[in-house]
Amino acid sequence: MWIVSRFAPSPTGRLHLGHAFSAVRAHDLARQAGGRFLLRIEDIDGTRSRESFVAGIEEDLAWLGLVWDGPVMRQSDRMPAYADALARLRARGLVYPCFCTRAEIAASASAPHGPEGPVYPGTCRPVSGEAPAPDLDRPHCWRLDMARAVAEAGETLAWHDASAGWITADPGAQGDVVLARKETPTSYHLAVTIDDAAQGVTDVVRGMDLFEATHVHRLLQALLGLPTPRYHHHPLLTGPDGTRLAKRNGARALAELRAEGADPAALLAALRAGQVPFGAGHGEA
């Protein structure tokens, strides 16, 4: 079975053990099948992305002995592709501009809670009848009209996870998700869906923290006529206190371990064997 996998970090900091765990899994899945392992830099966050971190990602992967195939895709080079996809959804009446701030949404008594926190209550969602044209010079985002999108998909959507089996997509639980903002013509949901298809990714390897997002990605694939990869959501690595390893939680960077003389071959072997070193542990699957 031909496999194309990818590792797609954001260059907002140095790679840590959690990143390495995911990268090794994606790399080995492809290599064991004689397939391709790709590197994609998800740098749509122009305020936090740094070129020094892009160089650091490549340096850290090379130190671990993980070699990727072909040129590195960078999302910052692909804004026209995202804008085109958004325009197609707009033309079908599936997205609408939203002018609510995050604080207003969080304070709304009508905002229900979904898997990832408060769900947008639909304040700006269009209703039947004519309405004045929105002032798009104001700060805004573009939201997917979830009910209309699900209705247009018109069928029961499913996706396959290596651990959980076949999953019936339930994107509605996340409400009218953001697909783009005034200053950035894409969001994670839209960009990752477009890019996986553009790179011919057959197998997506990523952490369980993105399991719920896959419901939305499956819907976007259906709406945009894109293929659905196989998914491999793996447990997250946690620190000694049980909190998942993350940049904001002070997870130790691979560069730091390298400076301390860590053996990359030993680290790679440990990760492949499911042994998580330096005080990290497995989270729940």
Q: Return all residues near 162 (Cβ < 8 A) that are at least 6 apart.
A: 230, 231, 232, 233
CA 30, 217, 121 angle in degrees (round to 5)? 150
Note the pLDDT tens digit of each residue in 52-82. 999 999 999 999 999 999 999 999 999 999 9
Whether the CB-CB separation of 194 and 84 falls below 8 Å is answered with no
Whether the CB-CB separation of 185 and 86 falls below 8 Å is answered with yes
Note the pLDDT tens digit of each residue in 212-233. 999 999 999 999 999 999 999 9
Q: Is the pLDDT of residue 130 over 60?
A: no
- In this prediction, residues 243-248 reach a mean pLDDT of 61
- The pLDDT of residue 172 is 93
Confidence band (pLDDT; 50, 70, 90) for 128? low
Alpha helices in the chain (DSSP H): 17-32, 51-64, 79-91, 102-107, 146-153, 188-198, 213-224, 254-259, 264-272
Confidence band (pLDDT; 50, 70, 90) for 190? very high
54, part of any domain: yes
32, part of any domain: yes
Positive or negative, the CA dihedral 149, 77, 17, 251 is: negative
- The pLDDT of residue 79 is 96
Alpha carbon distances (Å) from 148 to 87, 119, 120, 212, 269? 16, 17, 15, 20, 48
| Between 200 and 244, the higher pLDDT residue | 200
Q: Report how far Cα 251 is from the mean position of its chain's Cα atoms.
A: 20
Q: Return all residues near 73 (Cβ < 8 A) that are at least 6 apart.
A: 38, 39, 40, 41, 195, 198, 199
113, part of any domain: no
Q: What is the pTM of this model?
A: 0.90
- In this prediction, residues 271-277 reach a mean pLDDT of 77
238, part of any domain: yes
Q: Domains in the chain: how many in total?
A: 1
- The pLDDT of residue 283 is 52
Confidence band (pLDDT; 50, 70, 90) for 46? confident
Positive or negative, the CA dihedral 50, 117, 194, 122 is: negative
Pairing relationship of beta strands 73-74 and 36-41 according to DSSP bridges: parallel
User: Residue 50 belongs to what domain range?
Assistant: 4-79+187-282
- In this prediction, residues 101-111 reach a mean pLDDT of 72
Q: Is the pLDDT of residue 284 over 50?
A: no
269, part of any domain: yes
- The pLDDT of residue 238 is 73
Whether the CB-CB separation of 237 and 276 falls below 8 Å is answered with yes
CATH of the domain at 252: 3.40.50.620
Catalytically annotated residues:
247
- In this prediction, residues 177-186 reach a mean pLDDT of 91
Confidence band (pLDDT; 50, 70, 90) for 247? low
96, part of any domain: no
Least confident of 90-104, 106-120, 138-152: 106-120
63, part of any domain: yes
Confidence band (pLDDT; 50, 70, 90) for 106? confident
- The pLDDT of residue 285 is 38
112, part of any domain: no
- In this prediction, residues 5-21 reach a mean pLDDT of 94
For residues 200 and 2, give the distance between their C-alpha atoms in angstroms, rounded to a whole number.
11
